[in-house]
Amino acid sequence: MSIELANQQSPLPASLLPALEVRGLVKHYPGVKALDGVDFHVNQNEVLGLAGENGAGKSTLLKALVGLVRPDAGQIYVRGEKVRMRSVVDAANHGVGMVFQEQSLVPNLTAAENIVLGSEGPGVRRGMYRWDTMRKLAQEQLDKIGSTIDPRARTDTLTFADRQMVEIAKVLRIEQRTRFAPVIILDEPTSVLESGEVETLFTQIRRLREFASVIFVSHRLDEVLEVCDRVTVLRGGQSVGDVATAGAVPGDLHRLMIGSTGSDDHYHDSSIERPAGEPRPRLTVRGLSGPSFRDVDLDIAEGEILAIVGVHGSGREDVCRALFGAQETVAGEVTLDGKKLDLSGSRAACSAGVGYVPAERKIEGMVGPMSVADNMTLTKQGVRCVGPLVVPVRQASVVDTWISRLSIRTPHRGTAIQRLSGGNQQKVVLARWLVGGDIRLLLLDHPTRGLDIGARSEVYKLMRELANTGVATLLLADSLEEAIGMADRIVVMSDGRITAEVACPSGAKPTPLDLVKEMV
């Protein structure tokens, strides 16, 4: 292990030293100063929240803590000892592990194999797995977090929430490699969990506090305040304040995150423009059925935002994908502006003026190594090509216009999109459907997932602007509050069927409880 003793021995006893401390951490990328002298610490047996807008430096800081990024300056201390994290293995040797936002499990292995992978110890003898021993080792970690998952279960048969538990159990194996009590980093662990699953996760985090320290990262500020003891806020690559969660409200964190009080009009209701007369119907769905949904009837008018809500497995995601030609259907008819919509594939949907922003942005919504410019014009070749050839000047003009209009923070249009923050990646994905000027129906599957409060507000503003131009929007919201705040009407789905429709006029919005009653 590459441990260097601090220059001066701390006068504090070991039990009072921070479990992990960062002093003056600096990291430069071309054109960007991602970390600008960050200071923060997490105490022993504490749950520390880490909050900040997209681009504030959170991801870079976490990667530095687990050895994926080497800082240009600054120090990291574990229990008062200065350390250098040169790799993930190095970080594990110091007792620091991370559950990544994008899960890192091997799907065709069992839970036990994933948990002990890379630290099999007595689970392997002479190059051969000792299956009983390996399962026992995995069960020890699952027992620590109170999980009832069968270690023999294949990982790809588990729910997302259960896979999160396997990830945590896997990280806890670092106890076998170090003399330190572990520091567990949870990066956006609730981003795709339902409310009941979130409560289960919070129970496990409180259990972890008994023998470990936890750094909890989430854009959902109410969750940060509920589960954490204290919150450190980053802004512009710097730590700008600590907030004790007792008595704090999300607005306290928001003010630190953006440096101002922000706007009370979070959903931009004041920008709604209602056309004179009765709006024309844009999308009409009758009797649409597929493997996970049946007999779905929907109507969306020009400029209307319709939200579909439902618990996991309700079928709403598959309905959204079916309207883009990305999910099989077996019956039904769909018309767009009075003409039958071809559901045979996504190419036909694009040609008809249908856009789709998928929930899994990094998997289905963008090509990471490709540039901002190429991602933005991926489905609209006509805006950048003359015949079969790309005309760089033509592409640059269109892309720069939308970078400016959407305030996309990027060093250059040629920057790889994977280098951008999540909020700016999402703006590029949205811009893809706007550059051609022919969008008529926009399908948004959790468009604000993983975005901070400022980036979410910018997405809401764009949705309002598109609605004002007549674009019809189908929204699968990230929360009931988001659906209520943005929708003109809300449709409830359960077990693959529509079970209710709820009016959602401005000034007379339903409550989350009103919707939950229809969902269960």
Domain extents in the chain: 3-7+18-104+177-256, 281-353+484-520
Which CATH number applies to 3-7+18-104+177-256: 3.40.1400.10, 3.40.50.720, 3.40.50.300, 3.30.565.10? 3.40.50.300
Is residue 409 exposed (0-12), middle (13-18) or buried (19+ Cβ within 10 Å)? middle
> In the structure, what pLDDT confidence band is assigned to residue 479 with cuts at 50, 70 and 90?
confident
CB-CB neighbours of 3 under 10 Å: 12
> In the structure, what pLDDT confidence band is assigned to residue 449 with cuts at 50, 70 and 90?
confident
DSSP secondary structure, 58-120, as one string? HHHHHHHHTTSS--SEEEEEETTEEE---SHHHHHHTTEEEE-SS----TTSBHHHHHHTT--
DSSP bridge partners of 463? none
Tokens of 28: 């430069």
- The pLDDT value given to residue 337: 94
Where does 281-353+484-520 sit in CATH, by number? 3.40.50.300
User: 490-493 — which CB contacts under 8 Å span 24+ positions?
Assistant: 490/306, 490/307, 490/308, 490/309, 490/515, 491/298, 491/306, 491/307, 491/308, 491/309, 492/308, 492/309, 492/310, 492/518, 492/519, 493/293, 493/308, 493/309, 493/310, 493/314, 493/315, 493/316, 493/319
pLDDT tens digits, one per residue of 67-118: 999 999 999 999 899 999 999 888 988 989 888 876 678 888 899 988 888 7
Domains 3-7+18-104+177-256 and 281-353+484-520 share a fold: yes
pLDDT tens digits, one per residue of 358-409: 988 888 889 999 999 999 998 888 788 887 788 888 889 889 999 988 888 8
Model pTM above 0.75: no
Helix (H, G, I), strand (E, B) or coil at 363: helix
> In the structure, what pLDDT confidence band is assigned to residue 422 with cuts at 50, 70 and 90?
confident
> In the structure, what pLDDT confidence band is assigned to residue 5 with cuts at 50, 70 and 90?
very low
pLDDT > 80? residue 452? no
Tokens of 77: 């201390």
First to last CA, the chain: 53
pLDDT tens digits, one per residue of 137-187: 889 888 887 888 899 999 888 887 788 888 888 888 877 677 778 999 998
- The pLDDT value given to residue 42: 96
Over range 299-313, report the average pLDDT: 91
